């Protein structure tokens, strides 16, 4: 990499354009530009490392192991023919598969699985209900562990950001079944960070519109219009490549505004799942995944946060994966579909295609000498190995991103029934957390997966 490409111009890396729109204060962040970096684009001009992002990406009800597991172990993993990980093959360089790890904490269908893979500890029973229980997380989910670390180093506007793709369909089994991001709860009280299901509300949150949102929507005003003069002034200080990068960034903002600019009446329907109401009874999950993924990438690019969670579907989700040919909710289908469980296989393959879109957006977003996926550590998990048996052995896990150079990518690591928390510890270390152990009670481990880490 030639030094001339990254000639520093003294631009403050914390630059945020601020303006007033409809009486509301808002801010538009800028991406990391070459003018902020050292001569190689590998760090900031003052020597500080580029920020690493940590993400937790969850989908409910498990997989079909026979079509999930790669056919080989070690480097350059390969999926079986028509396997569930085929949609991720274009991103193999950034994706490692973790298998053969088991939940070690006391087990209960669904409840212990999500708590173990998202917090490294046991679930906390709150009550009994019907033939099952009500539960919450006893310990913090790993996105909040990462958020604690990042905020202590360099506070960002949002401690963490939480998004949901498919909607919560109602259950009486506690926060374990409704939410992903938890703050820990010693006494069973609700202590969660709810995932935002509405793309429009998520957009407004990112740009600090708050309670002024209805007026702003009605006026059809653009957040970029309010900072147009600042954009012009900033461009005068930048080189050609940074100007192109800034233009690309603000074009993305404008496109998102246009895509989310629906009539106010539709935005305020109380029964609609955000801005994407059902069409003929079907959730617009592909469309919603695209816009929520784009918004999250935009937030990470703007450095609004370094820790995030995306809940594609809830624990024990009842979502109908109709694009994959399913006609029943996932949870019910897992209990009723006969072998070889083709619809479940197709549903997981479809879900991995939605994850692939998010990874593609990260990979296509330049940052420093690489891209945003190079600077990320994203842990992907589900609460069961296979939903019809409620198995919590051989838990399906993925570790995506290069973690700022800490993670290898394109490796299939298979354990021998050891602690599932090894995957969580490795993911957090990949984000730069200086941990030698992680987990709680029977879920505690001091053994990261060295085969996935760069020395």
User: What are the pLDDT digits (tens) for 337-366?
Assistant: 999 999 999 999 999 999 999 999 999 998
Q: What is the pLDDT of residues 307-348, one digit of tens each?
A: 999 999 999 999 999 999 999 999 999 999 999 999 999 999
Range in 96-100, 252-256, 435-439 the model is least confident about: 252-256
What's the mean per-residue pLDDT of the chain?
Answer: 84
Domain assignment present for 370? yes
Co-location of 9 and 75 in the same domain = no
Give how far Cα 35 sits from Cα of 17, 44, 240, 259, 280, Å. 16, 9, 11, 31, 50
Per-residue pLDDT at 426: 98
Number of domains composing the chain: 2
Question: Does 149 lie in the same domain as 103?
Answer: yes
359-406 pLDDT, tens digit per residue, is 999 999 988 889 999 999 999 999 999 999 999 999 999 999 999 999
| 280 in any annotated domain | no
Per-residue pLDDT, averaged over 177-181, amounts to 95
Q: Which residues pair with 381 in a beta bridge?
A: 58, 397
Q: What confidence score (pLDDT) does residue 16 get?
A: 56
Helix, strand, coil: what percent of the chain each, to 5? 35, 20, 45
- What does the block give as tokens for 327? 């006609």
Q: Please check the confidence at residue 129 and state whether its pLDDT lies above 60.
A: yes
pLDDT of 112 > 70? The answer is: yes
- Under the banding of pLDDT at 50, 70 and 90, the label for residue 224 is low
Examine the domain organization and report whether 178 and 134 are in the same domain.
yes
Rounded to whole angstroms, the Cα distance separating 305 from 376 reads 12
Per the structure, the complete domain to which residue 423 belongs is given by 52-197+292-452
What number is the average pLDDT over the span 254-282? 53
* pLDDT of res. 214: 36
Q: CA 400, CA 362: separation in Å to the nearest integer? A: 11
The answer, yes or no, to whether residue 274 has pLDDT greater than 60, is no
CATH number at residue 83: 3.40.720
Contact 376, 407 (CB under 8 A): no
Alpha-helix residue ranges (DSSP H) falling in 36-99 = 65-68
- Do 260 and 225 lie in one domain? The reply is yes
**Whether residue 266 sits in one domain with residue 222:** yes
What sign does the dihedral 348-354-355-360 (CA atoms) show? positive
Both tokens of 404, joined, read 């700022």
Q: Given this model, what pLDDT does residue 257 score?
A: 60
180 plus 79 within the same structural domain: yes
3-state secondary structure of 424: helix
Kindly state the tokens that stand for 8. 């520093």
Q: Is the peptide bond before 340 cis (omega within 30 degrees of 0)?
A: yes
Please say if the pLDDT value at position 120 is more than 90.
Answer: yes
Q: How many CB atoms lie within 10 A of CB 269?
A: 11
pLDDT of residue 369: 82
The answer to whether residue 278 sits within a structural domain is: no
Same domain for 24 and 99? Answer: no
Domain presence at residue 205: no
Say if residue 309 is in the same domain as residue 162: yes
Residues 409, 86 contacting (CB under 8 angstroms)? no
Torsion on CA atoms 237, 239, 244, 248, rounded to nearest 10 = -40
CA–centroid distance for 276 within its chain: 20
Question: In the prediction, which pLDDT does 201 show?
Answer: 83
Q: Rounded to a whole number, what is the distance in angstroms from the first to the last CA of the chain?
A: 23
Are both 35 and 64 inside the same structural domain? no
Do 123 and 15 share a structural domain? no
Residue 216: CB atoms within 10 Å: 20
Q: Over pLDDT 90: what percentage of the chain?
A: 62
Predicted pLDDT of residue 444: 98
Residue found by looking up tokens 């070889």 in the block: 340
DSSP string, 292-344: HHHHHHHHHHTTS-SEEEEESS-TT-----GGGT--S-HHHHHHHPPTT-HHH
What's the CA dihedral at 28, 143, 86, 110 to 10 degrees? -140
Tell me, what's the pLDDT at 302? Answer: 79
Residue 432, pLDDT above cutoff 90: yes
More confident residue, 386 or 221: 386
413 confidence band (pLDDT: 50, 70, 90): very high
Query: At a CB cut-off of 8 Å and minimum separation 6, what does 33 contact?
Result: 11, 238, 242, 245, 246
Residue 111: the pLDDT is 97
Is residue 426 located within the same domain as residue 346? yes
């Amino acid at each position: 990499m030639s030094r001339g490409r990254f000639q520093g111009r003294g631009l403050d890396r914390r630059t945020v354009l601020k303006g007033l729109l409809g009486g509301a204060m808002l801010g538009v962040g800028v991406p990391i530009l070459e003018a902020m970096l050292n001569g190689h684009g590998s760090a900031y001009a003052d020597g500080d490392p580029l920020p690493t992002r940590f993400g937790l990406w969850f989908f409910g009800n498990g997989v079909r192991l026979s079509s999930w597991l790669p056919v080989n172990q070690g480097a350059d993993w390969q999926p079986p023919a028509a396997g569930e990980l085929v949609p991720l093959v274009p991103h193999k360089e950034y994706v490692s598969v973790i298998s053969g790890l088991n939940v070690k904490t006391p087990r209960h269908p669904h409840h212990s699985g999500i708590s173990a893979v998202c917090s490294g500890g046991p679930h906390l029973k709150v009550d009994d209900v019907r033939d099952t229980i009500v539960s919450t997380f006893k310990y913090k989910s790993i996105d909040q562990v990462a958020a604690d670390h990042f905020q202590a180093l360099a506070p960002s506007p949002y401690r963490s950001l939480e998004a949901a793709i498919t909607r919560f369909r109602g259950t009486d089994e506690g926060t374990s079944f409704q939410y992903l991001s938890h703050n820990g709860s010693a006494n069973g009280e609700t202590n969660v960070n709810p995932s935002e299901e509405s793309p429009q509300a998520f957009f407004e949150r990112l740009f600090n519109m708050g309670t002024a949102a209805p007026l702003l929507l009605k006026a059809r005003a653009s957040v970029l219009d309010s900072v147009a003069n600042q954009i012009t002034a900033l461009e005068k200080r930048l080189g050609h490549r940074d100007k192109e990068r800034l233009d690309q960034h603000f074009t993305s903002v404008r496109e998102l505004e246009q895509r989310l600019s629906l009539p106010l009446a539709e935005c305020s329907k109380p029964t609609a799942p955000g801005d994407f109401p059902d069409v003929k009874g079907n959730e617009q999950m592909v469309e919603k995944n695209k816009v929520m993924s784009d918004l999250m990438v935009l937030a990470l690019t703007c450095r609004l946060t370094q820790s995030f969670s995306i809940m594609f579907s809830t624990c024990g989700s009842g979502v109908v994966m109709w694009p994959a040919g399913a006609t029943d909710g996932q949870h019910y289908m897992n209990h009723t579909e006969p072998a070889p469980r083709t619809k479940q296989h197709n549903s997981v393959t479809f879900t991995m295609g939605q994850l692939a879109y998010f990874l593609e957006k990260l990979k296509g977003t330049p940052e420093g000498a690489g891209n945003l996926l190079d600077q990320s550590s994203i842990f992907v998990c589900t609460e069961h190995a296979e939903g019809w048996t409620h198995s919590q052995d051989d838990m399906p896990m993925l570790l995506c991103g290069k973690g700022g150079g800490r993670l290898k990518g394109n490796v299939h690591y298979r354990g021998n029934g050891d602690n599932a928390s090894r995957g969580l510890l490795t993911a957090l270390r990949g984000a730069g957390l200086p941990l030698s152990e992680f987990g709680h009670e029977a879920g505690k481990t001091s053994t990261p997966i060295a085969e996935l880490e760069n020395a």
